[in-house]
Amino acid sequence: MPPGPLDTHRPRSFRSEPRSMASAEHPGSPGRTGPVTQCTAGTKPEASAAGPDLPHPGPDEDSDADSSPSLNSSMTTRELQEHWRNEKRCWKPVKLLFEIASARIEERKVSKFVMYQVVVIQTGSFDSNKAILDRRYSDFERLQKNLLKSFGEEIEDVPFPKKHLMGNFTQEMISERKLAFKEYLSQLYAIRCVRRSREFIDFLTRAELKEAFGCLRAGQYTKALDILVRAVPLQEKLTGHCPAMVVPALCATLVCHRELERPLEAFAAGERALERLGAREGHRYFAPLLDAMIRLAYALGKDFVSLQERLEESQLRKPTSRGFTLKELTVREYL
């Protein structure tokens, strides 16, 4: 019988998850920590990563050609050309297109508003994971106000449709705003520091992720998964510069599958999360995720020893006190 990651007891099942030795520190809900990166009007480079949820050095979806390492001067022209062709294939930029597919008028007891359906698709290939979001004028307005606080100079030339005292529900006005919001999102996305900001990413993902984590807390695992399946692909497309930002959602996916007794799907979600964490042993999800993956691997007859060694080596390098289990950590997100 293999030892557990932190003791010598045999894991009872993949649904039994011991408390890990992860740090109990929890910086709070993602989306409440300000912009992921800041930039000025083209004069300062973007800040490199420092915290567990911030970008770190390395290739990303916006890498510039002159940022690549210098090549061996002895390479022939043909070899150089082949090298850059391979580089382009490996690091093909992710580009997104925004459409306002439709709009509908909704009436509530005390309010009446227009709901715009935003469709986000990836260019360059068939995108089977296009995102469909519902946002109202007040959501766009909140995004604009938040961006002005951090990127006033960068977005000063990006037009935003103004409010009107009358005529907001006419077909003419709705059609005009559909085009305006499409152009607005496209122009924001074209600004590198804006598309990487917490404000922009939250506008496109936070509402759906908040709902999914709420369902997880309520034990509605199937409903939570239905939302995560739609939200996570878009979050991944938006966070290529900082892959760790998607780790909480992937861990929530693992927890939901595990609670629904789908260990294979849970393990697959955990592998994706570990891949995005990389060597970031200080991340608050690192030890709890490894604990959960060791239990799943053992229950599935997979290689758990390498995962256990990875956790033990991490604890030797940086000992931590007993902290949250993976489920305890995920249910604290978006509170």
Q: Which of 165, 181, 196 is the last residue of a domain?
A: 196
220 lies in some domain: yes
Q: Evaluate whether 220 touches 167 at the Cβ level (below 8 Å).
A: no
Q: Which of 196, 231, 263 is the last residue of a domain?
A: 196
205, 115: one domain: no
Using CA atoms, how far apart are residues 90 and 328, in angstroms rounded to an integer? 37
128 lies in some domain: yes
231, 261: one domain: yes
Of 164, 154, 255, 263, whose CA–CA distance to 200 is shortest?
154
161, 225: one domain: no
> What is the block-wise mean pLDDT of the chain (335 residues), using blocks of 10 residues?
45 43 41 43 38 40 42 60 56 81 92 95 80 96 97 97 86 95 97 97 98 98 98 95 97 98 98 95 95 98 96 88 89 94
Q: Which of 145, 161, 196 is the last residue of a domain?
A: 196
**In terms of residue numbers, what domain contains 167?**
96-196
215, 256: one domain: yes
The predicted pLDDT at position 52 comes to 38
**Collapsed DSSP state (helix, strand, coil) of residue 119:** strand
Render 127-166 in DSSP notation, one character per residue: -TT-EEEEEEHHHHHHHHHHHHHHHTTTTTTS--PPP-SS
Of 297, 290, 289, 225, whose CA–CA distance to 260 is shortest?
225
Q: Which residues pair with 100 in a beta bridge?
A: 118
Please tell me the pTM assigned to this model: 0.74
What's the number of domains the chain is made of? 2
137, 181: one domain: yes
| Phi, psi angles (nearest 5°) of residue 216 | -60, -45
Using CA atoms, how far apart are residues 160 and 180, in angstroms rounded to an integer? 7
The predicted pLDDT at position 268 comes to 98
326, 292: one domain: yes
156, 255: one domain: no
48 lies in some domain: no
104: domain CATH number is: 3.30.1520.10
**Collapsed DSSP state (helix, strand, coil) of residue 2:** coil
The predicted pLDDT at position 113 comes to 94
Using CA atoms, how far apart are residues 89 and 314, in angstroms rounded to an integer? 34
258: domain CATH number is: 1.25.40.10
